[in-house]
Amino acid sequence: MDADEMLATTRAVRKRLDPSREVPENLIRECVDLALQAPAGSNVPRTRFVVVRDPELRAAIAEIYSDIYLNSYRESAGYIGRVEAKDAGIQQRTARSADALERALHEVGTIVIACLDGVRLDGSPAFASASMLGGVLPAMWSFMLAARARGLGTCWTTMHLARERDVADVLGIPFDTVQQVCLTPLAYTKGEKFGRADRPEADEIIHWDRWDSGKLAAPPMNGIARVSS
């Protein structure tokens, strides 16, 4: 596929993950190799990928994820099914998809966690957080695009970070110096055709030169999920 199609159709894959097909290690290495070509602050790549394939470790991570999802997030005001959206039907279908990932994560053969190596950003100013995380996020997105080009599905989630230290203990990640940023399942997909998402038109969200209060406003985040860490 060309670059435009890849960018327009790289979806959060939850229901259509196919755990029955093992992902070869060489494909994971290819995705990581491409991810490392993403921009890195001060030309120092600090992104690290923890690729979890051991069944017992995957089960432990999935159990932590499920505990947070079912016992904190699912009933919170920030649950995706309660977030205001212009199309309530689409929003509810997305919620069912998110519910499906909680069940599917236990079966997926590869879990990938992107980490920031060498610093933690707890309580840091916005400048520092944006600067340092700005090195990891492009790399992880490049990883996901590379996966899409190879017929693999991914789903960006930060759910496990509510118990980041527990996950660090499971995987031997040094918590004081390595910050986990996001997690994704990695699996072949059931079918390869994905469409564009329902998104605003460009002119609805572009602010030319100055902020235009008449433009489309996003829903307030007052109801963001608050889960116990």
CATH code of 68's domain: 3.40.109.10
The pLDDT, as a whole number, for residue 175 is 97
Q: Are 195 and 158 in contact (CB under 8 A)?
A: no
Strand order of the sheet with strand 178-185?
47-52, 111-117, 178-185
Domain encompassing residue 174? 13-190
pLDDT per position as a tens digit, 40-71: 878 878 999 999 999 999 999 999 999 999 99
Query: Assign residue 88 a region: left if phi > 0, alpha if psi is -120 to 50, beta otherwise?
Result: alpha
Q: Judge whether 44 lies within some domain.
A: yes
Q: Judge whether 214 lies within some domain.
A: no
The pLDDT, as a whole number, for residue 229 is 35
State the Cα torsion 57-96-4-216 to the nearest 10°: -120
- Dihedral sign, Cα of residue 27, residue 29, residue 32, residue 37: negative
Residues of the chain with pLDDT under 50: 223-224, 228-229
Residue located via tokens 């990938």: 112
Q: Are 101 and 155 in contact (CB under 8 A)?
A: yes
Q: Judge whether 6 lies within some domain.
A: no
Q: Please give the C-alpha separations between residue 62 and each of 68, 73, 102, in angstroms, as whole numbers.
A: 10, 15, 8
The pLDDT, as a whole number, for residue 137 is 95
Tell me the two tokens of residue 113. Answer: 């966690």
Bridge partners of residue 49, in order along the sequence: 114
Q: Please give the C-alpha separations between residue 189 and each of 19, 53, 83, 194, in angstroms, as whole numbers.
A: 9, 18, 27, 10
Q: Per-residue DSSP letters for 21-73?
A: SPPPHHHHHHHHHHHTTS--GGG---EEEEEE--HHHHHHHHHHHHHHIIIII
Q: Who's near 166: CB < 8 A, 6+ residues apart?
A: 64
**Which burial class, exposed, middle or buried, applies to 105 when counting CB atoms under 10 A from its CB (0-12, 13-18, 19+)?**
buried
Q: Judge whether 7 lies within some domain.
A: no
**Overall domain count for the chain:** 1
Q: Judge whether 196 lies within some domain.
A: no
Residue located via tokens 């994560």: 105
Residue 189, SS3 per DSSP: strand
Compute the distance between CA of residue 160 and CA of residue 183 in angstroms, rounded to an integer.
Answer: 8
Q: Judge whether 205 lies within some domain.
A: no
Q: Judge whether 53 lies within some domain.
A: yes
Residue 122, SS3 per DSSP: coil
Q: Judge whether 25 lies within some domain.
A: yes
